[in-house]
């Protein structure tokens, strides 16, 4: 039955104010990230180009052999060769990150991260206030799911930073996406704070939906890394074949991690969260059995959750199959993430299903 608790309007209004305040701080972080990239682009990094020029030409230079007259040790001076990695990219050094190695760029980057932390704390407080206003999990509709999703995505990014991972290059696309997500939430998906409908009145709401949100946030970070990998790989290939990328491409892409590093990072995060996505589908089936009397009914949300699972399973299989690493596998990963996005936005808004009970 529907919960008897009433809505605390004061906390609901506080939640709305905190969400809007977080958007303001995220906007400041966005401009700080822009400044980070702009001032960082003034640095003449050139590390990728320098590494690629060290590759051996088509006709490898002769090996120098020096032999002592008294039958001593033979000395071989072999040329240094930069080879292709298993992911299909050249073994080149990682870029120094978004700041481009400049002191001023790094300063703006630190400001951007600090503002992102502040915005995360404000947004998380808004999500908690929303939960307290109705004394339930704060993801009973698309508005609540969106605000919680963006909070978890930023939290995952900050977690990587705390773990000393070189992921500051995610900052600008992340903050941009969070602003778009929150803009859609407060403009088109806004739903008054209210109690749950009977179908959602279950402890499985905490288990199933929370894991779906976490998986989506990590899949998003993997998708950003995959997309940037494609750009960086094209840049490295162009340099290796004697091409001359434009100054904008050079200033931006030169500071990203090497294509092989981006590809490895995307693979690891997707592979790590895939078992949890599998659990999410299983938990949803168990919940469906309790709520509707059947574990699987080919509902649109169930179908697209499974399609997303198949997409990421195909990606992981492609990574383990010779000839499907690198760019081909990256395309599969992006298609799989596209299926996740359609499962959330497309199915909820455009498709009639049993999962439409909460509206938007």
Domain membership of residue 89 as a residue range:
9-57+65-356
- Residue 142 in any domain: the answer is yes
Q: Which of 284-293, 330-339, 347-356 bottoms out in mean pLDDT, i.e. has the lowest?
A: 347-356
* pLDDT band (50, 70, 90) for residue 343: very high
99-138, pLDDT tens digit by residue? 877 888 889 999 999 999 999 999 999 999 999 998 888 9
The model carries a pTM of 0.85
- Residue 255 in any domain: the answer is yes
Residue 66 has pLDDT above 80, yes or no: no
- Residue 2 in any domain: the answer is no
- Residue 232 in any domain: the answer is yes
- Residue 37 in any domain: the answer is yes
Q: Which of 40-49, 216-225, 293-302 has the highest mean pLDDT?
A: 216-225
* pLDDT band (50, 70, 90) for residue 23: very high
Q: How many domains does the chain have?
A: 1
- Residue 13 in any domain: the answer is yes
- Residue 307 in any domain: the answer is yes
- Residue 4 in any domain: the answer is no
Residue 233 has pLDDT above 70, yes or no: yes
Mean pLDDT score of the chain, rounded to an integer?
Answer: 84
146-187, pLDDT tens digit by residue? 999 999 999 999 999 999 888 999 999 999 999 999 999 999
Q: Tokens at residue 350, please? A: 């455009």
């Amino acid at each position: 039955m529907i919960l008897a608790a009433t809505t605390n309007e004061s906390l609901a209004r506080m939640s709305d104010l905190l969400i809007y305040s977080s958007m303001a701080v995220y906007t400041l972080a966005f401009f700080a990230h822009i400044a980070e990239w702009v001032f960082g682009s003034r640095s003449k990094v050139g590390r990728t180009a320098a590494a690629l020029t060290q590759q051996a030409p088509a006709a490898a230079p002769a090996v120098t052999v020096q032999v002592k007259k008294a039958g001593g040790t033979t000395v071989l001076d072999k040329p240094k060769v930069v080879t292709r990695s298993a992911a299909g990219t050249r073994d080149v050094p990682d870029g120094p990150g978004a700041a481009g190695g400049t002191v001023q760029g790094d300063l703006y980057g630190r400001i951007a991260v600090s503002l992102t932390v502040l915005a995360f704390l404000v947004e998380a407080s808004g999500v908690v206030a929303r939960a307290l206003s109705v004394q339930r999990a704060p993801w009973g509709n698309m508005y609540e799911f969106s605000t919680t999703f963006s909070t978890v995505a930023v939290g995952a990014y900050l977690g990587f930073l705390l773990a000393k991972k070189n992921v500051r290059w995610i900052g600008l696309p992340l903050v941009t996406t969070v602003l778009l997500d929150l803009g859609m939430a407060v403009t088109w998906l806004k739903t008054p704070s209210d109690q749950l409908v009977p179908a959602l009145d279950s402890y499985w709401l905490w288990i199933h939906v929370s894991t779906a949100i976490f998986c989506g946030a990590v899949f998003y970070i993997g998708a950003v890394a995959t997309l940037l990998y494609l750009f960086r790989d094209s840049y490295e290939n162009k340099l290796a074949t004697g091409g001359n990328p434009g100054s904008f491409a050079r200033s931006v892409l030169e500071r990203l991690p090497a294509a092989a590093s981006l590809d490895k990072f995307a693979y690891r995060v997707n592979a790590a969260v895939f078992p949890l996505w599998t659990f999410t589908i299983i938990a949803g089936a168990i919940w469906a059995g309790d709520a509707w009397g059947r574990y699987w009914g080919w509902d649109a949300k169930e179908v697209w959750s499974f399609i997303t699972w198949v997409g990421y399973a195909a990606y992981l299989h492609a990574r383990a199959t010779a000839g499907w690493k690198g760019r081909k596998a990256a395309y599969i990963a992006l298609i799989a993430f596209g299926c996740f996005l359609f499962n959330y936005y497309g199915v909820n808004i455009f498709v009639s299903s049993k999962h439409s009970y909460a509206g938007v």
